[in-house]
């Protein structure tokens, strides 16, 4: 495989062409790839929705849900199936395993639904089958408001909807806050009775006269003529003139019986934007389009539509934009780009200080080249640039230069020995080929298992390992193929530039400094021009875009960099070379390692000290951690306030309460925009699977101002919630719309049973327990709300005597309720079909009307009251089912900032709230001296017992979070068994995903270690060395725990867990470099000396690669991002908060593991050496005893003792540089033979009796 390096260096021009091509393709890919805020997650789930007007929840379950479940349960790959039966509605939600065949599954679901439809009763609407996709949430909401009629506002909204949906990037623009149009036929019950007309006659008359008749054509000898029979309704007058009954010579039309008007459906909700009545357009973009460009195009289209309106309409209609995702995406891209550039700058500073200008530029060449190759790979996969991709680049900045640093550092040594640049870089790439391949492969092994992460969290995080795999693979190509050629060419070029520098050195020093400043300004100007083609007006040709627009700036920057190199060389002051002293002198670190490896005791002491530190760290973290969380807490930018109230409230009463809450929300500082919906309705937002409480009467969707201009989001939402809860008669819950895979309230207990009574009793009992449990807030459950329904029973036998039937009775009842749909029609003002609905006037739509209604029978008109009865029954508005069993959920949030105090045995004592930093007082003094307020006593503990326990010590503290509360509640459920036998329970919501993610990450960690062990075994052919390398993973985990304690962070299952798995692949690289060098040295020098020389020679590249990785992630660990374009910086931006825990895990884990590895690995190598030497010495001693004093072994031992203190030669071990063979390179100075120098000195007594033979000089 190393022949690839020779092949590349022998075809330098072709490789340079490939480099240029890679840069061009990668730049084009970066500019054209779509930019997204979050990854586009394809959820393997389908929903089936059936609308059935007028059906009750119980009938919906019996007649719709059960037939659907019976058919759908046999579909292959189904994971869970949940159903909802409600008034007018039935829905089934199916979740499948990831990796499903969506097309085949969708086809199978359609077939099963078609089969279930055969069992549905008449009256249902066609079932809808929908997919679940995160990318189909709105990216922008356009709100139209103003003091004008509803019909005018709706007309303009629909015209704007058509205009926006015509844009190529827009998938749909759904309306919110609108009402459907209908043709209302208000019929007087007295006229209906007087004209002896039944509801079925009305339906038949309308349906029979509202048909499209294809009459065909008439063909004659004169030609063909089409025959047209206009028969479908297209205007209200057509319905008005419709004949219903003929009485003698008089025709009774529908207009004689009823008042007919074009109106809207009954309002089921109200909508307002910032206090004004509104209709909102929720714009969804198509997949594959850039969200920033799409929003800009939408805004331009809306502005163009506004400009075409009449002037009075422009003044009357207010158009506002809200929930703009492009702002978040642009901020995220800018902040993460700043983080990437900050990481690159810090890495370059470190490399520049360690290796010098030329080497730093060569290492710096690896960063953009690897990034651009990664973008090319992403473009091939049609993957958008999201926050996961950007952080993958940040995480990779420090890792991708590792190979380049090792190659450049080794090549520099060879160049200093007199070898030409091209050959030096070629030899460096070949010498380090397998170590770099092995280290990169082990790093990739840590990320490969993450590609199989199941569930929504796995899909959400999937682009992180993909990005890292692409970047690190690209860095491998750059380090081993591109860099040797570029380094060789740059070496020759540097010689030519060096001659120019020597010429310029004759100029006065101030003039040379001025030339350097000018070159720096030229390079900076070129960089700005490349990033912003409009930086220098007139330089870019009109119409140029993309790569063509960047070329002038790149050319200027390249020229400036070359000028900087020349002028910097001219500024260099050459010092007189120091006197060369013969002999070998150890470095300070070499002396320290010699102290450890110099005797058999110190390796044991060092290993014991490191092991004790690891154990102490784990024990300390167990007592001083902040608990575990599923995802990370981020800055709140949007929220939904659910306004809750109970009672039979009208829409007007609901709207009044929501309006008062809306006014209080708008008065809170930091709130930017407010959508308020009373009754039904709301924007289609990504709520992470959370649902509104059953007693919700309205919701207020809130968008906060830009995070840099306001307080912390959690403080604002606390004020909002407190203000709403001050309104008498209502309660409020607030859902923070967190980004990421978290869903709903974190504590979600699901109770399942088909015994309805037992299920209700269990839910009531658990709800009461939740209410009493300290630390739980905003408790809710999904039991039916108290209320009544009116059940109308038809005495079938009695009705049969009169010749009536249930259908006739039902039709008359519908006239009293929501109305009877006669048919549909199309009108010019609407693109959709509208219903023709007949019903009684509003004053007659009351239950008492039923007592006076009469139905026509064979015996004439008979009162309905003769064979119907009205009975109030408990209201059952919704039935929830999962896996074909009914269930109730009991949910709660967790109060922040609480601690649970426990005694030495782990028994809970109390719950307390620590005081804020700097606050004094408090009713309790916690272990450690901090004050706290007592919240609740637990487990029967008294105040005196608690104070005595705190005084005596031994009280432990645990952070109260969702995981802690779930664990405590589970222990209580298992111990007390409070649920009836026929009721089962499970934890739903985040708990399911968290358990699945924890199990996967554990398996991924073990799998990554297994893959790395195989690679290391192939690399070193030694079980001991392979295990030794993997011990660094334990040290890195220790560093992660230290980092969480120092940075005061909880353990995030997703982010910290990902960091630990990623570290497993990163930290082993240092050990690979150390052991590979040790094996090389051990071939021609004593092993103890090889250990010391390995530590001395490899400390610089090991520290350099570690510091570069840490430097790249340190700004992200502190949430710092520099803006290189507009200037300034940000701290703890919302996008930066996502990655603080992952960055902390990598920085602390890698830093501490590296420091320990530099001592721990030599100690383990020395331990094996001394164990072998001890075993060898013991064996010789036994042989001498057994064979006697005259044996050869005994004489050798005696001779060794006698000559131990004699002075002998000191051997200076060194690696022999190869002599140059290429004709175009200058000959190197003749190397000294090995041994390099022998001086009279005391013989090294620690050298083993049988040293390894010397390697022959090349």
**Residue 708 DSSP code:** G
Query: How long is the chain?
Result: 1258
Q: Are 369 and 23 in contact (CB under 8 A)?
A: yes
Q: How many CB atoms neighbour CB 762 within 10 A?
A: 24
CA distance 1021 to 1033: 20
Instruction: Give bridge partners of residue 251 from the DSSP assignment.
Output: 246
Q: List beta partners, residue 899.
A: 912, 959
Cβ atoms 432, 407 nearer than 8 A: yes
- Alpha-carbon gap, residue 536 to 529, rounded angstroms: 7
Residue 252 and residue 244 in contact, taking contact as beta carbons nearer than 8 Å: yes
Q: How far apart are CA 53 and CA 56, in angstroms?
A: 9
pLDDT in tens, 1210-1227: 666 665 444 343 333 334
On the CB side of 904, CA atoms within 13 Å amount to 5
Distance CA 706, CA 328 (A): 10
What pLDDT shows up at residue 1255?
37
Which one-letter DSSP state was computed for residue 709?
G
- Reported as half-sphere exposure (CB side, CA atoms, 13 A), residue 1051 has a value of 18
pLDDT at 1224: 36
Residue 604 is given by DSSP the state H
Separation between Cα atoms, residue 251 and residue 133, nearest integer Å? 56
174 pairs with which residues across the strands? Answer: 282
Rounded Cα gap, residues 446 and 453, in angstroms: 13
- Give the chain's residues under pLDDT 70: 1, 134-135, 212, 214-215, 228-231, 357, 541-548, 572-584, 686-689, 738-743, 917-921, 1124-1127, 1207-1258
Per-position DSSP letters for 239-259, written without gaps between them? HHT-EEEEETTEEEEHHHHEE
Strands (DSSP E) contained in 1115-1175 are: 1120-1122, 1129-1131
* Cα-based distances in Å from 660 to 667, 672, 681, 724, 1141: 11, 18, 18, 8, 41
Tell which residue, 409, 390, 415, 401, has the closest CA to residue 348.
401
User: Residue 79: CB partners within 8 Å, gap ≥ 6?
Assistant: 44, 95, 96, 97
Listed in sequence order, the residues at least 6 apart from 1081 whose beta carbon sits closer than 8 Å to its beta carbon are 1089, 1090, 1093, 1094, 1213, 1215
Cis peptide before 460 (omega within 30 of 0): no
Per DSSP, what are the bridge partners of residue 751?
A: 888, 985
The CA distance from 398 to 394, in Å, is 8
Strands 671-679 and 860-863: unpaired
Specify which residues 261 forms β-bridges with: 184
Q: In this structure, are residues 937 and 909 in contact, taking their beta carbons and an 8 Å threshold?
A: yes
| pLDDT score recorded for residue 326 | 86
CA distance 1082 to 1089: 8
Model-wide pTM > 0.85:
no
Domains in the chain, CATH or no CATH each? 40-137 (3.30.70.1430), 181-210+225-264+788-874 (3.30.2090.10), 510-573 (no CATH), 633-781 (3.30.70.1430)
- Give bridge partners of residue 141 from the DSSP assignment: 282, 322
Tally Cβ neighbours within 10 Å of residue 538.
7
Helix or strand or coil: residue 205?
A: helix
d(CA 741, CA 752): 25
399, 363 contact by CB (below 8 A):
no
What pLDDT is recorded for position 509?
80
The backbone torsions φ and ψ at residue 480, rounded to the nearest 5 degrees and listed phi first, read -100, -20
Quote the CA–CA distance of 1179 and 1171 in Å, as a whole number. Answer: 12
Q: Give Cα 490 distance to the centre of its chain.
A: 42
Strands 181-187 and 834-839: parallel
Helix axis angle, 1068-1082 relative to 1087-1117, nearest 10°? Answer: 160
């Amino acid at each position: 495989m190393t022949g690839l390096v020779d092949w590349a260096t022998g075809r330098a021009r072709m490789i340079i062409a490939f480099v240029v091509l890679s840069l061009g393709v990668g730049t084009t890919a970066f500019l054209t790839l779509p930019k997204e805020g979050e990854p586009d997650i394809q959820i393997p789930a389908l929903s089936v929705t059936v609308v059935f007007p007028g059906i009750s929840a119980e009938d919906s379950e019996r007649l719709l849900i059960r037939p659907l479940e019976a058919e759908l349960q046999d579909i292959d790959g189904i994971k869970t199936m949940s159903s909802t039966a409600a008034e007018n509605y039935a829905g089934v939600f199916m979740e499948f395993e990831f990796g499903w065949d969506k097309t085949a599954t969708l086809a199978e679901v359609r077939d099963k639904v078609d089969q279930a439809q055969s069992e549905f009763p008449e009256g249902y609407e066609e079932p809808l089958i929908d997919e679940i996709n995160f990318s189909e949430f709105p990216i922008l909401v356009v709100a139209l408001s103003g003091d004008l009629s509803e019909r005018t506002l709706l007309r303009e909204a629909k015209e704007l909807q058509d205009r926006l949906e015509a844009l190529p990037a827009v998938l749909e623009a759904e309306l919110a806050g609108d009402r459907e149009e209908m043709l209302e036929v208000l019929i007087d019950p007295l006229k209906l009775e007087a004209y002896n007309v039944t509801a079925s006659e009305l339906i038949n008359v309308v349906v029979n006269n509202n048909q499209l008749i294809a009459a065909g054509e008439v063909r004659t000898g004169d030609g063909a003529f089409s025959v047209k029979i206009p028969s479908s309704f297209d205007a209200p007058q057509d319905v008005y003139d419709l004949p219903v009954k003929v009485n003698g010579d008089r025709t009774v039309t529908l207009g004689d019986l009823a008042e007919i008007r074009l109106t809207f459906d009954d309002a089921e909700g109200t909508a307002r934007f910032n206090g004004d009545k509104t209709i909102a357009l929720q714009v969804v973009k198509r997949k594959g389009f850039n969200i920033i460009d799409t929003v800009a195009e939408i805004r331009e289209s809306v502005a163009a539509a506004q400009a075409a309106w009449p002037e009075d309409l422009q003044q009357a209609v207010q158009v506002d934009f809200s929930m703009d995702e492009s702002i978040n995406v642009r901020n995220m891209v800018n902040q993460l780009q700043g983080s990437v550039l900050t990481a690159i700058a810090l890495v370059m500073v470190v490399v520049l200080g360690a290796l010098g200008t030329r080497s730093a530029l060569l290492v710096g060449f690896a960063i953009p080249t690897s990034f651009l190759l990664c973008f090319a790979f992403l473009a091939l996969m049609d993957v958008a640039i999201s926050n996961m991709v950007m952080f993958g680049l940040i995480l990779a900045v420090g890792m991708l230069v590792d190979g380049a640093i090792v190659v450049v550092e080794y090549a520099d040594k060879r160049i200093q020995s007199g070898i030409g640049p091209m050959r030096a870089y070629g030899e460096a790439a070949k010498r380090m080929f397998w170590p770099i391949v092995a280290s990169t492969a082990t790093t990739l092994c840590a990320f490969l298992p993450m590609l199989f992460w199941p569930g929504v969290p796995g899909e959400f995080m999937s682009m992180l390992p993909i990005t890292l795999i692409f970047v690190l693979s690209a860095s491998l190509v750059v380090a081993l193929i591109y860099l040797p050629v570029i380094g060789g060419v740059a070496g020759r070029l540097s010689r030519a530039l060096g001659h120019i520098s020597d010429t310029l050195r004759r100029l006065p020093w101030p003039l040379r400094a001025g030339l350097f400043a000018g070159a720096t300004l030229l390079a900076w100007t070129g960089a700005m021009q490349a990033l912003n083609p409009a930086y220098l007006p007139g330089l870019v040709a009109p119409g140029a875009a993309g790569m063509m627009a960047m070329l002038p700036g790149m050319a200027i920057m390249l020229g400036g960099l070359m000028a900087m190199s020349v002028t910097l060389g001219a500024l260099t002051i050459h010092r007189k070379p120091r006197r060369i002293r013969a002999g070998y002198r150890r470095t300070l670190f070499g002396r320290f390692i010699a102290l450890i490896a110099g005797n058999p005791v110190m390796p044991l002491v060092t290993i014991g000290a490191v092991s004790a530190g690891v154990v102490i760290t784990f024990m300390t973290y167990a007592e001083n951690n902040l608990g575990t969380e599923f995802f990370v807490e981020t800055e709140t930018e949007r929220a939904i306030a659910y306004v809750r109230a109970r009672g039979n409230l009208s829409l007007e009463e609901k709207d009044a309460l929501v309006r008062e809450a809306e006014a209080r929300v708008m008065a809170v500082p930091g709130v930017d925009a407010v959508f308020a919906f009373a009754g039904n309705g709301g924007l289609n937002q990504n709520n992470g699977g959370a649902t509104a409480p059953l007693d919700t009467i309205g919701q207020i969707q809130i968008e906060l101002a830009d995070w840099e201009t306001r307080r912390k989001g959690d403080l604002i939402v606390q004020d909002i919630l407190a203000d709403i809860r001050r309104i008498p008669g209502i309660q409020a819950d607030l859902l923070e719309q967190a980004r990421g895979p978290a869903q709903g309230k974190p504590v979600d207990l699901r109770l399942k049973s088909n015994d309805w009574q037992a299920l209700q009793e269990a839910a009531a009992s658990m709800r009461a327990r939740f209410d009493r449990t300290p630390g739980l807030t905003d408790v809710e459950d999904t039991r039916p709300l108290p209320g009544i329904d009116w059940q109308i029973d038809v005495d079938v036998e009695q009705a049969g005597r009169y010749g009536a039937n249930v259908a006739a009775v039902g039709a008359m009842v519908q006239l009293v309720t929501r109305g009877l749909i006669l048919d549909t029609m199309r009108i010019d003002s609407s693109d959709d079909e509208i219903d023709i609905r007949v019903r009684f006037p509003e004053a007659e739509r009351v239950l008492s009307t039923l007592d006076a209604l009469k139905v026509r029978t064979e015996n004439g008109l008979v009162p309905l009251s003769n064979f119907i009865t009205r009975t109030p029954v408990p209201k059952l508005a919704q039935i929830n089912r999962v896996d074909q069993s009914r269930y109730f959920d009991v949910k709660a949030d967790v109060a922040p900032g609480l601690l649970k105090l426990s005694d030495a045995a782990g028994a809970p004592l109390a719950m307390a709230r620590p005081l804020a930093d700097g606050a004094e007082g408090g009713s309790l003094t916690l272990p450690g001296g901090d004050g706290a307020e007592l919240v609740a006593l637990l487990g029967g503990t008294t105040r005196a017992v608690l104070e005595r326990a705190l005084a005596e010590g031994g009280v432990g503290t645990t952070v109260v979070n969702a995981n802690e509360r779930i664990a405590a509640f589970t222990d209580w459920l298992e111990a007390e068994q409070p649920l009836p036998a026929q009721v089962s329970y499970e934890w739903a919501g985040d708990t399911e995903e968290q358990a699945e993610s924890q199990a996967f990450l554990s398996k991924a960690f073990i799998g990554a270690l297994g893959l790395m062990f195989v690679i290391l075994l192939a690399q070193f052919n030694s079980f001991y060395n392979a295990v030794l390398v993997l011990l660094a993973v334990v040290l890195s985990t220790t560093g992660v725990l230290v980092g969480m304690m120092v940075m005061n962070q909880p353990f995030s299952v997703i982010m910290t867990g990902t960091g630990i798995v990623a570290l497993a692949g990163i930290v082993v690289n240092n050990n690979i470099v150390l052991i590979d060098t040790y094996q090389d040295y051990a071939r021609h020098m004593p092993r103890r000396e090889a250990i010391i020389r390995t530590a001395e020679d490899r400390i610089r590249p090991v520290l350099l690669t570690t510091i570069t990785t840490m430097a790249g992630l340190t700004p992200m660990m502190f949430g710092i991002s520099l803006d290189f374009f507009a200037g300034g910086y940000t701290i703890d931006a919302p996008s930066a908060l996502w990655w603080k825990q992952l960055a902390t895990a990598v920085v602390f884990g890698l830093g501490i593991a590296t420091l320990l590895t530099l001592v721990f690995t030599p100690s383990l190598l020395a331990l094996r050496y001394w164990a072998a030497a001890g075993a060898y010495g013991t064996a010789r001693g036994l042989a001498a005893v057994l064979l006697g004093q005259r044996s050869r072994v005994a004489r050798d031992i005696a001779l060794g003792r006698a000559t131990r203190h004699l002075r002998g030669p000191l051997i200076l071990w060194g690696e022999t540089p190869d002599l140059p063979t290429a004709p175009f390179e200058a000959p190197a100075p003749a190397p000294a033979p090995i041994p390099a120098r022998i001086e009279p000195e005391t013989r090294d007594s620690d050298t083993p009796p049988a040293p390894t033979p010397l390697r022959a000089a090349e």
